[in-house]
Structure 1
Amino acid sequence: MANPGSPGHPRRRPLRLLAITVTLALGAAVPSPAALARTSAEPGGAARIAKLTKEIKALEKSYGGNLEQLRDVRQDAKKAVERSRTLNTELAQARTIVAQLAASQYMSNGVDPSVQIVSGTDPNDLLDGAALASHVSASRAARVKQIQSLVGQQERTRREAEGKIEKLAGDTEKISKRKAEVQRLLKKYKPESPTVGNGGMTARMVKVRDEIETELGPFITIGCTRPGDPQDHGKGQACDFMESSAGSMPSAARMAHGDQVAAYAIKHASRLGVKYVIWRQRIYDMRSPGWETMSDRGSITQNHMDHNHISVF
């Protein structure tokens, strides 16, 4: 038996060169591994979309609603990345086939296996061998065309995904820059709270009601003047900002909202002329600052568990 380095041993071409320049029996060239790597590289889309999604959620929270425009663009970008991933999987399988073809040609000293099948010395095997060789060559040609098509598709899909992600990033940035203007418009045109007892209110109470409605509304209901009430409601100097209806306890989110309303009224009391705030069976009187617990009056509404009562001077 001849040694690999002896004159009688057939010289084999380096596998590295074969992997780059594999040519099949029908003359169709397989894309090089370097070309496959370039086209199959994922554009980093998933991570970038996740980052942009966080930014969108922050914007939605600031704007107080869903930004459908960004949601649609984000969905398009996600679909493009998913298509790119699917093609990457198919290309990975194609690279395995390329490697097998290169190894087969290398082991046969550069002679296509289909040629070897019909070059045997046994005449009895020639007919069957020729038919098999034809089948092998045809199958390989089809596979090569499929791989070449996948390379083109993946490159187009990669560029499409990158373009959609860039659009998503651009749209997010544009909307972010318009944040202050959008918030102003949202305050101006947001749903208005149902109101009762609007007649006979003092100008100061009207100002307080309108500002709290603008900044923190809408409320379930805002109830103000109650004719015949011996306290501030009867004088047009108080409003109730309801967080629930029918005497039921507010949800956790509405309770938290009520906390914000009370805090806002207290913070701006001097400017607005707020006299006191009652919320959750406690009273905060500006003439003696600090929360004081009130006695149990027997119901959710009478204990002010479902609304902020705000009185003005």
Structure 2
Amino acid sequence: METPTSTRWRRARLALVGFAAAAPLLASATPSAQADPGDSGRVSKLNAQIERLDKAYGGDLAKLKDTQFAVKQALKKSQDLKQDLTAARALVAQMAASQYMSNGADPSVTALSSDDPSTVLNNASLVSHVAQNQAGKVKQIQVLVASQEQARRDAEKKIDELEGEIKDLVKQKARVKALLKKYKPESPSVGMGGITARMKKVHDIVDQEMGPFPTIGCFRSTGDPQDHGTGHACDFMVTTGGTMAAGAAKDLGDRTAAFAISNASKLGIKYIIWRQRIYDMRSPGWRAMENRGGVTANHYDHVHISVF
């Protein structure tokens, strides 16, 4: 005849057997030991390097700032998924303990439920949950684990890309110094809408050669200025109202960007952004940029031109 004590021990032994059977499932639901991509010191160091290069290389390094933005977004996604994962695991642990206890107070469950909620999922309380045909929640956690791990890898990749771009730019130091010597930075001028004399010259020549444009926007200090705030940039709009450029408008943008690149040396142009790509004279060649979530933010309706 079984006593209450022997019954409890039998349940505990069954739980251990079930736990062993569920081991493959648990293994796939255990988050990586490296849940946090990179480290704050590494990212802070890269951010500081960007600020120093900005000053040394003649102002806004838009491509580096773009990758810096991507790192920030990737880290946020990874952290958000990690929080979701922690919350989901805690919920399953709580459900498992509640269901187990609803069948009668069991000292083994009391001991299990006293663990930290983020780790209790990895012990025998999960076996009770799985045994009662609620493995669906565990599968949801598996999806979260996979998503969080992918987000962590994506963030690490973006950090590696940022490091690579910084190293590449540093290698261009001699070229950049020669450009800066040729195009000494100018100060904004009163009575010219806040733009520098060089930007005013580029504005007039591009408008004369490639225009007319629906509108040209230059000085602004809000949002992400990208040299607009210091009077070193203008946006040559090829459509209005946030409309994606197509047909003749896209052709105008293509020709304007090509004209700016061809005449960059003569006019002192620093970089051009068009259709989610950037061409920086300090590191020449078209390079893709991050998705900022809109037609205008991704430069699909205007050509951005910055000068030294």
Structure with the bigger RCO (C-alpha within 8 Å, sep 6+) is 2
Taking structure 1 as the reference length, the TM-score comes to 0.43
Highest Rg: 1 or 2? 1
